[in-house]
Amino acid sequence: MSAAAESRKPGRLALMIDLERCTGCKSCEAACKQEHRLGPGEYRNKVVWASGLEEAGLAFLTLTCQHCERPACLRACPVNPKAIEKDPVTGVVSVVESRCTGCGECVMACPYSAMGYDPREHHAVKCDLCTDRRAQGQTTACASVCPTSAIRFGARDELLGEAAREGRAPLDLDHFLLGPATIYLERLPAQGEPGAATVPSRAAGSSRPAFMDAAASQAVVVESKPAFPYGLPRADATADRVVPGGCNICFNCCTANFHFKGDDLVRITGNEDDPLLQGRVCPKSQLTLQLYHNEHRLRHPLKRAGARGENRFERISWDQALDEIAEKLKRVREAYGPEALAMFIGTRTGTLDNLGYTRLFAQLWGTPNKEGTDPFCASSKSVAYELTQGRIGSGNSYTPGDIGSARLFVYFGDNQAETRPVYFGMVNDWRLRSGAKMVVVDPRLSATAAKADRWLAIRPGTDMALGLALCQHILARNLHDRKFCGDWTLGFQEWRDFILARGYTPEWAEPVTGIAAAEIRRLAEEIAAADGCVIFGSRGINQHTNGTQTNRVLMFLAAITGNWGRRGGAYFNMTAGTPIAPNAPEHRRPKINRQKVRRSPAGWTDAMLHGKPYPLRALIACNNPLAQWPGQAAVRAAFESLDLMVHIELFANETSAYADYVLPAATGIEKGEIGRSNDDRRIVWIDKMIAPPGEAKADGWIWIELGKRFGFDDVLQERYKDTQVFWDEVCIGSELLRGCTQKRLHSVPWRWVRHPVASEDAPEIETLYLEGTTAPGVPAGHRFPTPSGKLEFWTTELEGKFRTIGLSALPEFYSEREQLVDLPYLELEHSDADAGVISPFCRPDTGTSRARIVAGSGDAPGARLRAQGYDTELLTGRPSAAHFHSWTHYFWQSQEMWPDLFCQIHPDKAARLGIADGERVRVETAHGAIEAVAWLHAGIRPSAVFVPIGWGERQPFHPWRSVNFLTDKTQRDPVSDQTNLKVLLCRVARAD
């Protein structure tokens, strides 16, 4: 029978991989390694990335066995009978491990390089389309988790039929007449038109980034010992019970099933019972298996035994640690007052800790200087939402009837495909089914942009100008939704007059943004015309000194086009926030006599170093500020000067090395908590399922025990160590959360409830703020939770607030101080050492600086830096889906997927600098320097480089200096205290 005839045999099984849907997240790789317990270096599938070198492009290829009709691997096997078999009915080609002598001839023979090899046990390994799962009627592991539904499994004929019905064509990959069964659906043609940067279906001259496969970097991982349960026989890792829960790492809040054999966690999968996510799950959630079985976890309280930064510690007991910390805190309070204690509560520590336990501790202690990561990530959007809508977050949901029904998706500075891959997978799936369009505005062609119809490579820090021009064009052409503007906005007229009077036209915006005026007009008209447009914004918008104003402009853009309070229309800037805000009884809260130094912890370093505006002498950090805070050199100096520094963490990192005491923390299923603040307003409950390693303790336990030393146990009660009790009794007091009880959360097998829910039997609301409804928790008739019940663009009260800090509520354009062209920028009147003015945008009383907008000129800081040779825009941001800040850098498989710190650079620029792909480069700003490995990528502005966050100097696999050695703590938005992390001038050279 010919190969072609064989390939049409009924019953032949196959995977169908849709290249249009795949975003390269590598969730399938994580699932495969879990399912088959494959260790480092051992693969049955692998996702390959390729960057365009001649034109902008990013392609992903999930490489797996082709289950050929004429398998070259099988024929090459010298063993008789063969150690590789082909099932005559299903066509599945599999390895008989007991007969494999490990000669590797099959590995050599496969022209698709889809035959894996176990370097520890010395035998071939390959995809067998999950024989064991199929026997139980399940789909393959890779298909079960794929966040984007890019992988489908089934009978080959049926899959081909599905593709044909969807109008999709399979690629012809049968170079070698082997009759491959795996189907790859080709990418859709790009929506290219002259004048717009387009996304090609295949990048010309594409190349795999050298750093991903570099032998030396991979060797570090391959030589590491894979932790339980990797490498175990199937029987030893087969679960006997499954507990539903969720992932506690990122904002996607994937629901997950935790599989146990006895008391051992053996596997983490998506929760297929979840009606929303349906088992889709990103790689991080699965890789947390390596969080719970990890040799690098902190296991005992430690006390510093050497100099700060020396990283020498002695093991002590919990009692000794807490007694000594309490004693030192008392001394700090006596000498400097309670405000001298600063608390930095990162998101690693969990939402209950961040918004619950530590909030109560700070109130009982009497310090206003408690903050999380918001001022580094999202405080600008939070303030903008509060000012405009009266409450943080979009009221829309990731459902087919809501976001799924939009006709246009516009992403501003939001790389959703890599930061919330499951949500992006849903959006991309909906738009492919409905024919909706997608436009991405980003200085680099990210995985999100690679899927879009159009990519607009904007100059970083100028999204506000683009937003203003889009609004101007819509208003000038009367394309706005007049009824919505008239009925549901306040200050529209003043704002409209301002926009038109200032001349923020597309022609004005063209040289500012680098986007052609015609494209701006086109986008404006598309947004205005779409029957539902969702405008996404994220860190690319937030992390700027103009973050609040840019967010407001984009909110106004959504509002004037009627894309607010409707299904399929929204301004969506990531998380909705979780409305937990417990308070200690008034009489138990000491009066706070001094204002919070600054909202941003980056603004605390002068108080630590110089005692100005008043001394901060003790810090309890629950995250990794020595990688995360901008301006690392100053942060290190500040931490060295402290009287007391306590670090509560999972892994020893840079911050631990500077701490006086390191306290080992628990996380996720070791303590019981909710997931992170979520895009979709879902509260995902995670039960406590296992004990923490060694003597590690839940953060709540630590705060309660420390609180006992100060007599706080009447509020921070012993029984609140049980997070379920703490949740029901302390966290859900507000009308928005009252119905989200443990009983309700446990009543559904997917363990989530979408807030707000005022009572246990109140229905979840898919879309908030619809016309004719009243927003939850506000007076009747108030459609939006603002004082006026309308979206507030401009009011005299708002104007007054902005005037307090020297700005106007009418958003006048300005950009960043460090730009390659002269643009207006912000000059702060006060340094962090000054008390400044009390911010009208923050609670409690918080110091901030007055500011003024300065026109760009030859004397401006940017021009001076350019004269010194700083000729490149530095962009920072999240790396791909397998990483999240520093904690995933302790997982061997995250490091196998994304090993080294990289620097994305345009091939033209690299050629000018003599830099080859994979070479070490030095990136230097006026604030510091780091090294990274070059990744040549034509999908980035030729004038820019991109370096991701998350790497640190003390990480076990691939240590690199944090990108925050390059950033500057003084470039902050006076409204929200958000730091600019998205554009700084730098110079790049080959490292010596």
Partner 1 sequence: MQRQDFSDTKLLRLMAAAALAIAAWFVARQWLPEPWRMPGSPALYLAGVAGAALLLVPAAFALAKRGGSSRDPVGWFNAHIVCSSLGAVLIAVHSAGYLRRAPALLLLAILALAALGVWARVRGSRRMAATFASKAPAFAVPDPATRERLKAVISAKRRLLADLDPQAQEGTFSVTLAHWLRAPRLAAAYHRLAREEAAMLGTRRAAGLQQGWWRPVHMALAWIFVAGVAVHVVTVTFFAGYVADGGPINWWHLAAW
Residues that bind partner 1 (CB under 8 A): 1, 3, 6, 41-43, 46, 48, 50, 61, 63, 68-72, 74-81, 83, 86, 97-105, 107-123, 171-177, 179, 184, 208, 213, 215, 218-219, 222
What is the chain's percent helix, strand, coil content, to nearest 5? 30, 20, 50
Question: Smallest gap, in angstroms, from Cβ of residue 163 to partner 1?
Answer: 17
CA–CA gap between residue 935 and residue 918 (Å, rounded):
6
Buried b (16+ CB within 10 A) or exposed e, 849-873: bbbebeebeeebbbbebbeeebebb
Nearest residue (CB) to partner 1, 48 versus 854? 48
Q: Which two tokens stand for residue 890?
A: 């302790």
- Shortest Å, Cβ 57 to partner 1: 14
- Find the length of the chain: 992
State which residue, 46 or 885, has the beta carbon closest to partner 1.
Answer: 46
Shortest approach of partner 1 to residue 63 CB, angstroms? Answer: 4
What are 269's two structure tokens? 């999968």
Return phi, psi of residue 490, to 5°.
-120, 130
Give the chain's radius of gyration (CA, Å): 28
Smaller CB separation from partner 1, 205 or 694: 205
**Secondary structure tally for the chain: helices H, strands E:** 37, 39
> CB under 8 Å to 5, separation ≥6 — which residues?
none
Nearer to partner 1, 99 or 588 (CB): 99
User: What are the φ and ψ backbone dihedral angles of 241, each rounded to 5 degrees?
Assistant: -155, 155
Q: Minimal CA–CA distance to 27: which of 276, 286, 288, 415?
A: 286
- For partner 1, the closer CB: 13 or 638: 13
Give me the phi and psi of 781, to 5 degrees please. 90, -15
Can you state the angle between helices 547-560 and 379-389, rounded to 10 degrees?
40
Q: How far is the CB of 50 from partner 1 (least distance, A)?
A: 7
The angle at the Cα of 811, spanning 810 to 816, to the nearest 5 degrees, equals 150
151 vs 490, which CB is nearer to partner 1?
151
Nearer to partner 1, 102 or 733 (CB): 102
Task: Please classify residue 932 by burial: count the beta carbons closer than 10 Å to its beta carbon, then call 0-12 exposed, 13-18 middle and 19+ buried.
Answer: buried
**Minimum Å distance from CB 120 to partner 1?**
8
- Please, which residue, 72 or 602, has the CB nearer to partner 1? 72
Structure tokens at 974: 């006076």
Q: Rounded to the nearest whole angstrom, what is the least distance from the CB of residue 64 to partner 1 in the complex?
A: 9
Least separation in angstroms between residue 886's CB and partner 1 is 27
Nearest CA to 942 out of 974, 971, 905, 973 is that of 905
Q: Within a 10 A sphere around the Cβ of 306, how many other Cβ atoms?
A: 11
Shortest distance in whole angstroms from residue 71 CB to partner 1: 7
Of 70 and 589, CB closest to partner 1: 70
User: What minimum distance in Å lies between the beta carbon of 68 and partner 1?
Assistant: 8
In the bound state with partner 1, the residue whose beta carbon lies nearer, of 72 and 947, is 72
Residue with tokens 């015609």: 518
Any alpha helices (H) in 240-317, and if so which ranges? Answer: 283-287, 289-292
Assess whether the previous peptide bond of 170 is cis (omega < 30° from 0): no
Q: Classify burial at 717, counting beta carbons within 10 Å of its beta carbon; exposed 0-12, middle 13-18, buried 19 or more.
A: middle
Least Å distance between CB 963 and partner 1?
Answer: 28
Closest CA to 880 of 316, 417, 298: 417
Looking at residue 357, the DSSP 8-state letter turns out to be: I
Residue 202 or 990 with smaller CB distance to partner 1: 202
Least distance between partner 1 and beta carbon 174 (Å): 7
Give the nearest distance from C-beta 331 to partner 1 in angstroms.
54
Closest to partner 1 by CB, 116 or 301: 116
Cα dist from 753 to 83, 270, 439, 932, whole Å:
50, 17, 31, 42
For residues 103 and 853, which CB has a smaller minimum distance to partner 1 in the complex?
103
Least spacing, CB of residue 65 vs partner 1, in Å: 10
**Cβ atoms of residues 689 and 288 within 8 Å:** no
CB nearer to partner 1: pick between 97 and 314: 97
For the CB of residue 98, give the shortest distance to partner 1 in the complex, in Å: 4
**Closer residue to partner 1, CB minimum distance, 61 or 758:** 61
Residue 958 and residue 220 in contact, taking contact as beta carbons nearer than 8 Å: yes
Q: Which two tokens stand for residue 969?
A: 């703590």
Distance CA 727, CA 674 (A): 9
- The Cα–Cα gap between 235 and 233 comes to 6
CA–CA distances in Å: residue 709 to residues 326, 365, 515, 714: 6, 11, 60, 12
- Rounded distance between C-alpha atoms, residue 300 and residue 86, angstroms: 52
CA separation for the pair 881, 166 (Å, rounded): 28
Closer residue to partner 1 in complex, CB, 178/509: 178
Give whichever of 80 and 478 is closer to partner 1, judged by the CB atom.
80
Smallest distance, partner 1 to C-beta of residue 146, A: 18
Written as six digits, the tokens of 497 are 């007059």
User: Among residues 68 and 130, whose Cβ is nearest to partner 1?
Assistant: 68
CB of 107 to partner 1, least distance (A): 5
The least distance separating partner 1 from the CB of residue 122, rounded to whole angstroms, comes to: 6
Give me the least distance between CB of 691 and partner 1, in Å please. 32
Check if the beta carbon of residue 792 is closer than 8 Å to that of residue 803.
Answer: no
Contacts 24+ apart (CB under 8 A), 736-740: 736/579, 736/776, 736/777, 737/579, 737/580, 737/683, 740/683
3-state SS assignment for residue 880 = coil
Using alpha carbons, select from 854, 768, 883 the residue that is nearest to residue 399: 768
* Separation CA 664–CA 349 (nearest Å): 11
